């Protein structure tokens, strides 16, 4: 039985990690403030604020087999490795492919150059990549080869409150013509949160070390839309709009309000969704068919309301109608 400490565990990925670990018989403790949600049954929650000086006091006198950290803040990560590193058997740091400096070249692996590390303890949303570089460095400085750096790409499936991935199956579940960006052949890599969590647990068990890109299988955006449309039972038109035209209309790429989620125009991002995942696949990463990830996201979209007004990403029905009319 693995004695596992999750720094996090109350939000999306951390909660999935805790649930899977409990399910396979691990003894699981999560450390978080508790404001993001609860932890799965069978898990112990230690309430602590990682910004406080004594944040790790309640868990520092234990020999953990594995510690998994999902933080984005260099100050929190430095504090954790300092307080817990000496007694941790192995450490899994959940990083991101946003640590890379260049996203223009498809197929590159973990040796690609990184952004400069953030100088400071706290990363803003805009400093996410630099902040994660500083987190990785803090882990390496203290833990050396006792840490695996999981550079994760876009995560999909049930539980994603960014509303990005779910937009497409959710939109196709409504009737009427659907506006899509003209990028059918562009690659996309989305990893199901369940497959990601399973690999992170395996990486801890097997004491993997160093950086790994942990990504979904590379498919085309067109194939993703086709699968989303089929699973949602949509039989209306699909209307493609040119990227320049969409930008002229104030439609945002990638995420956020008035956006077409996952759309990444321009050469600068030509490699963002087609990095090499060979290393993780060789070391045990198993991915379910995309249709299962879409099904999880669609079920949640239906539960939360297909026409909900508080979507964080995508077009509202009125925005889409107005854009389709302008395009016609
Ligand atoms: N979404 C994507 O597509 C994507 C892509 C690449 C990488 N990632 C990475 O995947 C991970 C996602 O993790 P997630 O969904 O579990 O978590 P998350 O949404 O990043 O939430 C952070 C976790 O840390 C806890 N936390 C935050 N501030 C804290 C503090 N001051 N003291 C104690 N606990 C604190 C939160 O719990 P409380 O609020 O309850 O304290 C929560 O459990 C992140 O590392 C992210 O960078 C995501």
Residue 37 is part of a domain; what is its CATH number? Answer: 3.40.50.720
Q: What percent of the chain has pLDDT over 90?
A: 98
Place of tokens 């996952």: 262
What confidence tens digit (pLDDT) does each residue in 15-26 have? 999 999 999 999
Which residue among 7, 14, 28, 211 has the greatest number of ligand 1 atoms within 8 angstroms of its CB, and so is best to mutate? 14
The answer to the question of residue 136 being in a domain is yes
The answer to the question of residue 283 being in a domain is no
Provide the whole-model pTM. 0.97
Both tokens of 224, joined, read 């993703």
Q: Are residues 92 and 18 in the same domain?
A: yes
What confidence tens digit (pLDDT) does each residue in 101-153 have? 999 999 999 999 999 999 999 999 999 999 999 999 999 999 999 999 999 99
Q: Are residues 177 and 322 in the same domain?
A: yes
Task: For strands 187-192 and 218-220, give the pairing.
Answer: antiparallel
Q: What is the mean pLDDT of residues 212-241?
A: 97
Both tokens of 70, joined, read 């999902």
Helices (H), 234-289: 243-248, 278-282
Compute, in angstroms, the gap from residue 191 CA to the centroid of ligand 1: 17
Going by alpha carbons, the residue nearest to atom 13 of ligand 1 is 13
259 touches 193 (CB < 8 A): no
The answer to the question of residue 200 being in a domain is no
| CA–CA gap between residue 76 and residue 79 (Å, rounded) | 5
Q: Are residues 125 and 242 in the same domain?
A: no
Compute, in angstroms, the gap from residue 252 CA to the centroid of ligand 1: 25
167 touches 227 (CB < 8 A): no
Q: What is the mean pLDDT of residues 29-50?
A: 98
Choose among 62, 65, 82, 59: nearest CA to 8: 59
| CA–CA gap between residue 303 and residue 92 (Å, rounded) | 33
Ligand 1 environment, Cβ below 6 A = 8-14, 32-36, 49-51, 70, 72, 94, 96, 152, 154-155
Compute, in angstroms, the gap from residue 259 CA to the centroid of ligand 1: 23
Q: Are residues 174 and 45 in the same domain?
A: no
Domain boundary among 132, 152, 172: 152
SS3 147: strand
The total number of structural domains in the chain stands at: 2
Compute, in angstroms, the gap from residue 15 CA to the centroid of ligand 1: 10
Q: For the chain, what's the residue count?
A: 328
Cα 288 to chain center, whole Å?
Answer: 16
Which residue among 6, 9, 13 has the greatest number of ligand 1 atoms within 8 angstroms of its CB, and so is best to mutate? 13
3-state secondary structure 149-187: EEEECEEECCCCCCCCCCHHHHHHCCCCCEEEECCCCCE
| CA–CA gap between residue 130 and residue 2 (Å, rounded) | 32
Compute, in angstroms, the gap from residue 245 CA to the centroid of ligand 1: 35
Q: What percent of the chain has pLDDT over 70?
A: 100
Both tokens of 291, joined, read 């249709």
Compute, in angstroms, the gap from residue 29 CA to the centroid of ligand 1: 16
Compute, in angstroms, the gap from residue 9 CA to the centroid of ligand 1: 8
Which atom of ligand 1 is nearest the CA belonging to 156?
3
- What are the distances in angstroms from CA 265 to CA 65, 183, 186, 212, 314? 43, 8, 10, 26, 16
| CA–CA gap between residue 233 and residue 241 (Å, rounded) | 22
Going by alpha carbons, the residue nearest to atom 12 of ligand 1 is 13
The answer to the question of residue 78 being in a domain is yes
Q: What is the mean pLDDT of residues 234-262?
A: 97
Which atom of ligand 1 is nearest the CA belonging to 155?
3
Q: Are residues 168 and 303 in the same domain?
A: yes
Q: Are residues 104 and 234 in the same domain?
A: no
Q: Are residues 130 and 249 in the same domain?
A: no
Q: Are residues 167 and 144 in the same domain?
A: no
The answer to the question of residue 315 being in a domain is yes
| CA–CA gap between residue 100 and residue 149 (Å, rounded) | 13
| CA–CA gap between residue 112 and residue 212 (Å, rounded) | 12
Q: Are residues 121 and 169 in the same domain?
A: no
Q: How far apart are the first and last CA of the chain?
A: 61
| CA–CA gap between residue 156 and residue 37 (Å, rounded) | 19
Strands (E), the chain: 3-7, 27-32, 44-47, 64-69, 88-96, 147-152, 154-156, 178-181, 187-192, 210-214, 218-220, 238-241, 252-254, 259-261
The answer to the question of residue 120 being in a domain is yes
- Categorize the per-residue pLDDT at 1 as very low, low, confident or very high, splitting at 50, 70 and 90: confident
| CA–CA gap between residue 1 and residue 223 (Å, rounded) | 41
Task: For strands 178-181 and 187-192, give the pairing.
Answer: unpaired
The domain containing residue 30 runs over which residues? 3-152
- What are the distances in angstroms from CA 56 to CA 7, 67, 84, 225? 10, 12, 8, 45
Q: Are residues 125 and 145 in the same domain?
A: yes
Domain boundary among 133, 152, 171: 152
Compute, in angstroms, the gap from residue 80 CA to the centroid of ligand 1: 15
Q: Are residues 52 and 134 in the same domain?
A: yes
- For the chain, counts of helices (H) and of strands (E): 10, 14
SS3 117: coil
Which atom of ligand 1 is nearest the CA belonging to 51?
31
Which atom of ligand 1 is nearest the CA belonging to 73?
28
The answer to the question of residue 117 being in a domain is yes
Q: What is the mean pLDDT of residues 42-61?
A: 97
The answer to the question of residue 199 being in a domain is no
Compute, in angstroms, the gap from residue 56 CA to the centroid of ligand 1: 17
Mean pLDDT estimate for the chain: 97
Q: Is the pLDDT of residue 200 over 90?
A: yes
- Strand-pairing partners, residue 218, are 189
Q: Are residues 167 and 137 in the same domain?
A: no
């Amino acid at each position: 039985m693995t004695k596992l400490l999750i720094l996090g565990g109350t939000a999306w990925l951390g909660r999935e990690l805790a649930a899977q670990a409990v399910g396979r018989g691990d003894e699981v403790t999560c450390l978080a403030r508790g404001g993001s949600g609860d932890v799965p049954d069978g898990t112990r929650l230690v309430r602590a604020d990682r910004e406080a000086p004594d944040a790790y006091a309640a868990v520092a006198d234990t020999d953990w087999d594995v510690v998994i950290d999902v933080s984005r803040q260099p100050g929190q990560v430095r504090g954790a490795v300092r307080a817990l590193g000496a007694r941790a058997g192995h450490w899994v740091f959940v990083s991101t492919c946003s640590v890379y400096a260049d996203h223009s070249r498809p197929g590159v692996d973990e040796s690609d150059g990184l952004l400069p590390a953030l100088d400071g303890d706290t990363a803003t949303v805009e400093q996410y990549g630099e902040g994660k570089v500083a987190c990785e460095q803090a882990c390496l400085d203290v833990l050396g080869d006792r840490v695996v750096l999981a550079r994760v790409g876009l995560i999909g499936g049930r539980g994603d409150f960014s509303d990005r991935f779910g937009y497409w199956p959710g939109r196709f579940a409504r009737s009427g013509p659907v506006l899509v960006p003209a990028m059918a052949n562009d690659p996309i890599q989305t990893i199901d949160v369940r497959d990601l969590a399973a690999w992170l647990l395996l990486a801890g068990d097997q004491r993997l070390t160093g950086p790994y890109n942990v990504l979904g299988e590379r498919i085309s955006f067109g194939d993703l839309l086709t699968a989303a449309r089929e699973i949602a039972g949509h039989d209306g038109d699909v209307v493609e709009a040119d990227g320049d035209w969409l930008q002229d209309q104030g439609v945002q790429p990638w995420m956020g309000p008035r956006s077409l989620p996952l759309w990444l125009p321009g050469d600068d991002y030509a490699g963002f969704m087609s990095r090499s995942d060979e290393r993780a696949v060789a070391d045990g990463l198993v991915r379910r068919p995309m249709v299962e990830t879409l099904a999880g996201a669609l079920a949640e979209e239906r539960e939360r309301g297909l026409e909900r007004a508080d979507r964080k990403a995508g077009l509202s029905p009125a925005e889409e109608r107005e854009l389709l009319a302008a395009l016609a």
